[in-house]
C-alpha cells in the first residue's frame, strides 16, 4: 500500500506543480486543483480512506506551482489559507468509500453513469467546502467575503500608468469556476485509467487474482483419466436412477 500511495503522490505532485504554474497564466485564475483531485479519487478507490494520506503533499505541490506562477498577483493567493482549505476540502473525496463499500468499487468503476455522478459529487463537495473554509480563513466569518488587497501598476492602451487594485480573496472564493480544468482532468483521466483497470480496490483485486490462479492450477491438474472417471460415474448414477424408476 505504502509504495502505491507514494508513487501516486510523486507522479501526481510533479504534474500538479507544472500544471498549476502554467494554468494560472493560461486561465488568468488560481486553480486550487488540477491533477490532485484525480489522484485522490484514484487513491481512495484503491485503498479506501488510506488514500487520503496523499492529500497533504499534493496540496503542497499545488501551492508551489502557484507560487512559481509568472503572474505575481495570482501567486500571492497561494498561501497558508489556500493550503489548509485545499487539504481539508480534498478530504471530502473520502465520502466515496460509502459508495464503494455499498456497491463495491468494481461495480462503481464498471458503470459510466455511476462514475460521472460520483465525480460530480466530489467536485461539488470539494469546491463548496474549499470556498467556505477559504472565506472563513480570510474574513474570520462566513457572513461576508474576505478582502486581501494587492496593488500593481499597469500601462493602459493610452500609454498611461494606472494603479490596479485586486481583491485576492475573490480568486479563492471562485474555485467552482477556476477548478473546472481539474474536473475535466478527473473525467478524462478517470475513464482512461478505468479502462486500464487502475481504478479498483487493490485488496479485492489480489483476492480475485488468487481465486483465478487457484482455478487455473486446478484446471491444469485435471487429467483426461479423471474426466473419464467422472463421466463414467455420472453414467452409472443415471443408470441407477433409471433402474429405480
- The pLDDT, as a whole number, for residue 53 is 93
Grid coordinates given for 229? 472417471
- The pLDDT, as a whole number, for residue 61 is 93
- The pLDDT, as a whole number, for residue 170 is 82
Give the pLDDT of the chain (245 residues) as one tens digit per residue.
Answer: 788 889 889 998 999 998 888 888 887 778 888 899 999 999 999 888 999 999 999 999 999 988 888 777 788 888 899 999 999 999 999 999 999 888 888 888 888 999 999 999 999 999 999 999 998 988 888 888 878 777 767 766 777 777 777 787 888 888 888 888 889 999 999 999 888 888 887 777 667 656 655 565 666 665 555 545 555 555 555 555 555 55
**Domain match, 48 and 153 both:** yes
**Domain match, 173 and 231 both:** no
* 162 beta partners: 154
Grid coordinates given for 227? 474426466
**Domain match, 27 and 137 both:** yes
- The pLDDT, as a whole number, for residue 207 is 72
- The pLDDT, as a whole number, for residue 150 is 75
C-alpha closest to that of 181 among 129, 145, 133, 127: 127
**Domain match, 170 and 223 both:** no
Domain that holds residue 157: 2-200
**Domain match, 173 and 213 both:** no
**Domain match, 134 and 217 both:** no
| CA atoms 154, 157, 159, 160: torsion sign | negative
**Domain match, 87 and 160 both:** yes
**Domain match, 103 and 49 both:** yes
C-alpha closest to that of 55 among 91, 19, 30: 91
Q: Is 163 left (phi over 0), alpha (psi -120 to 50) or beta?
A: beta
**Domain match, 115 and 36 both:** yes
Domain total in the chain: 2
Q: Say if residues 173 and 135 touch (Cβ distance below 8 Å).
A: yes
Which CA distances in Å does 80 have to 24, 62, 74?
A: 18, 12, 14
d(CA 35, CA 37) in angstroms, rounded, equals 6
d(CA 8, CA 48) in angstroms, rounded, equals 14
**Domain match, 92 and 127 both:** yes
Grid coordinates given for 169? 480573496
The pTM assigned to this predicted structure is 0.79
- The pLDDT, as a whole number, for residue 42 is 92
C-alpha closest to that of 190 among 200, 180, 176: 200
**Domain match, 192 and 225 both:** no
**Domain match, 87 and 183 both:** yes
- The pLDDT, as a whole number, for residue 163 is 76
Amino acid at each position: 500500500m505504502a509504495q502505491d500511495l507514494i508513487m501516486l503522490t510523486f507522479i501526481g505532485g510533479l504534474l500538479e506543480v507544472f500544471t498549476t504554474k502554467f494554468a494560472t497564466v493560461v486561465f488568468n485564475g488560481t486553480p486550487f486543483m488540477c491533477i490532485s483531485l484525480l489522484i485522490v479519487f484514484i487513491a481512495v478507490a484503491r485503498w479506501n480512506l488510506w488514500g487520503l494520506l496523499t492529500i497533504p503533499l499534493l496540496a503542497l505541490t499545488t501551492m508551489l506551482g502557484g507560487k512559481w506562477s509568472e503572474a505575481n498577483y495570482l501567486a500571492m493567493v497561494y498561501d497558508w489559507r489556500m493550503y489548509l482549505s485545499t487539504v481539508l476540502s480534498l478530504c471530502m473525496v473520502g465520502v466515496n468509500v460509502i459508495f464503494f463499500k455499498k456497491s463495491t468499487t468494481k461495480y462503481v468503476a464498471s458503470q459510466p453513469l455511476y462514475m460521472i455522478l460520483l465525480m460530480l459529487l466530489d467536485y461539488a463537495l470539494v469546491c463548496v467546502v474549499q470556498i467556505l473554509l477559504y472565506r472563513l480563513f480570510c474574513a474570520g466569518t462566513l457572513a461576508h467575503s474576505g478582502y486581501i488587497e494587492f496593488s500593481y501598476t499597469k500601462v493602459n492602451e493610452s500609454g498611461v500608468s494606472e494603479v490596479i487594485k485586486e481583491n485576492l480573496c475573490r480568486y479563492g472564493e471562485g474555485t467552482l469556476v477556476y477548478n473546472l480544468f481539474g474536473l475535466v482532468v478527473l473525467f478524462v483521466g478517470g475513464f482512461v485509467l478505468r479502462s486500464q483497470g487502475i481504478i479498483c480496490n487493490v485488496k479485492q483485486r489480489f483476492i480475485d487474482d488468487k481465486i483465478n490462479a487457484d482455478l487455473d492450477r486446478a484446471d491444469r491438474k485435471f487429467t483426461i483419466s479423471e474426466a473419464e472417471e467422472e463421466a463414467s460415474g455420472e453414467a452409472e448414477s443415471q443408470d441407477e436412477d433409471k433402474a429405480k424408476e
